Structure 1
Amino acid sequence: MSEPFFELKGSLFPLSVIRSHDLSVAGLRTSLQQKLAQAPGFFHQAAMVIQLTPEHQAVDFIALKQLFEQLKLVLVGVTGADTEQKQQAQQAGLAVLRLGQDSKAVATEPVKNSAEVPTELVPMHTKVVEQNIRSGQQIYAKGADLIVRGAVGAGAEVIADGNIHIYGSLRGKAIAGASGDTSKRIFCHNLQAELVSIAGHYWLSDSLQGDFWNKAACIRMQDDSIAISELY
């Protein structure tokens, strides 16, 4: 028997979800341009989903798709759509997705497992960088944790499929769990980042400038959102 021409497999990929009261083209253009200016490389051709609510009436989905294309973004679909919004989005060629609390609503009763299947733990290697990472440089630890024995400067980017440890100031971008593992963390001795991301979830500088700014910090995922705590 010949092998199948193609395989269709289910997978999970990180998507950026946009929540905005104003889904007009003009309003969303202004908001997106401001975010893109903060981290243009991170969002280039990023896959995005629009969160809809009942208050969003008469949304021009075709015009929004064109806006995303102009900004070098990919509008995949919408979530939270009611019946009318669903039809309009599908007519515009957008997917209708269930994310977050939407997806949890699918299960109406607990799932009972007849047996626990042991999971084989794959050891994570470690990549060590013995210098500062300067503006314009990018370091990627594929299938590994990343240790930087120095600072990550503004405009620099460090990426790891595992955890990231920075024994200096983090002024650039740090992306941990790049392969989708939400259990990974970012540790730094001075948080001044342009962007931090774990498994596709991210915060920009304006969201980070709070109690832990300019302090030693640990960035992790908690309840489907990024959380920050003191390192020690």
Structure 2
Amino acid sequence: MSSPATSKASDCFRLKGSMFTLSMIELIHYSAIEFSNQLSRTVNQAPRFFQQMPVVISLEHLADDSTPDFKEIIEICRSLKVNPVGIRGGSDAMVENAFTAGLPSMGSVTPSPSPQRAQTSSPQPAAVEPSLVPARIIDRPVRSGQQIYARNTSLIVLAPVSAGAELLADGDIHVYAPLRGRALAGINGNTQARIFCNALEAELLSIAGQYKLSEDLQHSELWKQSVQAMLEDESKLQLSPLSLS
């Protein structure tokens, strides 16, 4: 009989928790032709960015009686080098059909209790003011392939961010140097988050899931300028000049 040390040494894998940022395709309604055409237009804006990108198919805006063809969705996505890895939301029937097609459920957003229900519920103790989480500060260059995440706080970078690098934050992102990689602020859904940088050369800017790609950014008069990015009406990413004087 092998010893515990021998058995452990022969294990072929270790299970570890991790965090990944996944883009979502939110289906409003489903038509194979419309879906294929729109996804093709989107991918053609930045083919290298979407190459083998893992995505989650969100069904939360679909009517419960909708019947999307998940095998068809997978085929369309993969024909455009996009890789669907699961679904979010949807009726029980959708979840079952998606799983049969090879897309597991990744849960759904838990709705907030209605005001009426909140009024009739038993009294709750006063909420405790959350403690301040200091911003994460990076004072060295962020190289291609690196990913830096500021959980439950903002991220401040005092050095250049190379193309291929990725900045993630639940709060704001500040880059006091050229930003050539990707910056994703408010990744927990914080629509009030902002992105600041003193030289916009980014591959992607995203706030709470709303994003602009390099192709869009380069056509802006603010390309290579000091800018701030924020959401307008919590749904449209807007750029504006940032004065550092």
| Superposition TM-score, scaled by structure 1 size | 0.64
Q: Retained in 2: the 8 A contact 1:133–1:150?
A: yes
- Equivalent residues, number: 204
After superposition, residues 58-207 of structure 1 pair within 5 angstroms as: 62-68=71-77, 71-74=82-85, 76=87, 93=98, 120-207=129-216
Q: Does 1:45 align with 2:54?
A: yes
Residues 1:228 and 2:232 aligned together:
no
Q: Which residue number in structure 2 is paired with residue 103 of structure 1?
A: none
Contact 2:172-2:195 within 8 A present in 1 as well: yes
* 1:98-157 Cα distance to aligned partner (Å, 9 max, x none): xxxxxxxxx9xx98x97xx87834423111111221211221122221111111111111
Q: Could you report, residue by residue, the CA deviation over 1:150-179 in whole angstroms, capped at 9, with x for unpaired residues?
A: 111111111112211101111110011122
> In the aligned structure 1, how far is the partner of 2:41 from the partner of 2:128?
43
- Quick one: distance in 2 between partners of 1:148 and 1:133? 8
Residue in structure 2 matching 1:212, options 192, 211, 222: 222
In structure 2, C-alpha distance between the alignment counterparts of 1:77 and 1:177, rounded to whole Å: 19
Structure 1 residue ranges without an equivalent (≥5): 1-12, 53-58, 80-85, 96-106
Query: How has the CA–CA distance of structure 1 residues 186 and 66 changed in structure 2, closer, same or farther, with 3 Å as cutoff?
Result: same
Q: Runs of 5+ in structure 2 lacking a partner?
A: 1-21, 62-67, 100-104, 106-113, 120-125
Q: Rg bigger for which structure?
A: 2
Q: Output the aligned Cα RMSD.
A: 4.3
- CA–CA distance in structure 1, aligned partners of residues 136 and 188 of structure 2: 16
Of residues 184-193 and 122-131 in structure 1, the stretch that sits farther from structure 2 once superposed is 122-131
Deviation at 1:30, TM superposition (A): 3.3
Classify 1:19/1:216 alpha carbon distance in 2 versus 1 (closer, same or farther; 3 Å). Answer: farther
What percentage of aligned pairs have identical amino acids?
30
The residue matched to 1:65 in structure 2 has which SS? helix
TM-score by length of 2: 0.61
Structure 1 CA distance for aligned equivalents of residues 151 and 88 of structure 2: 30
Q: CA, structure 1 residues 47+90, in 2 after alignment: closer, same or farther (shift >3 Å)? A: closer
